[in-house]
Chains A and B, each alone.
Chain A
Amino acid sequence: DAKTTQPTSMDCAEGRAANLPCNHSTISGNEYVYWYRQIHSQGPQYIIHGLKNNETNEMASLIITEDRKSSTLILPHATLRDTAVYYCIGPNSGNTPLVFGKGTRLSVIA
């Protein structure tokens, strides 16, 4: 079973930042949190992952709380093409199968 908790759905206005929260209270020392997204009728796509430090790449930023029990994925300027289901996955020590939950359905609205 998935070990993360996410809201079922969220809306975001186009051009605004989308902040997607995730709780992973059972995380331990060497376990990562991963974010993927799935656009309708496509395979999931990797976004970002983190261990304890905040991370940023060309797609998004990942903010991890100091106690590592929760994190937030930030899409800084959401576009209509960011409409997708976003999965927060973990804790995972890497190199093992990912366990997908139900994810958050993000709708970006014009």
Chain B
Amino acid sequence: DVKVTQSSRYLVKRTGEKVFLECVQDMDHENMFWYRQDPGLGLRLIYFSYDVKMKEKGDIPEGYSVSREKKERFSLILESASTNQTSMYLCASLSHLGHTQYFGPGTRLTVL
């Protein structure tokens, strides 16, 4: 059974902290994505990666960075967390040859 896992379901951080959100997939997929989801705004793409060490900005990259050192792991980094980054963060992966994007369960981040 395919699986995308995220390091935490719930996370509470303080303003100014550096935050790492981890995503791991076990399907050997080349493509990985980070979205955030907010009420009324739907899912918005933050960053994506087509391969190890590759990254591309999505629609809302400001305030975020990413790291893809290994194929199975894609990390989202909030360099200095702010309250407007309180959100649900969703990771997904996709094979180069496939059409099915698999999502993780999400991390609900609260920045105080």
Contact = CB atoms under 8 A, between A and B. Distances in A.
Given A34-B99, A43-B105, A103-B42, A95 B90 contact: no
Interface residues of A, number: 20
A42 B105 contact: yes
Interface of A is mostly: loop
Number of contact residues on B: which range applies? 20 to 34
B48 interface: yes
Contact of A97 (B33, B42, B100, B102): B33
Contact of A95 (B31, B35, B43, B106): B31
B90 A43 contact: yes
Contact of A44 (B44, B58, B103): B103
B45 A97 contact: yes
B108 to A, nearest CB: 9
Contact of B48 (A2, A41, A97): A97
Q: Which 9 A-B pairs have the closest CB atoms?
A: A43-B103, A100-B43, A46-B100, A44-B103, A100-B42, A49-B99, A97-B45, A43-B90, A102-B42
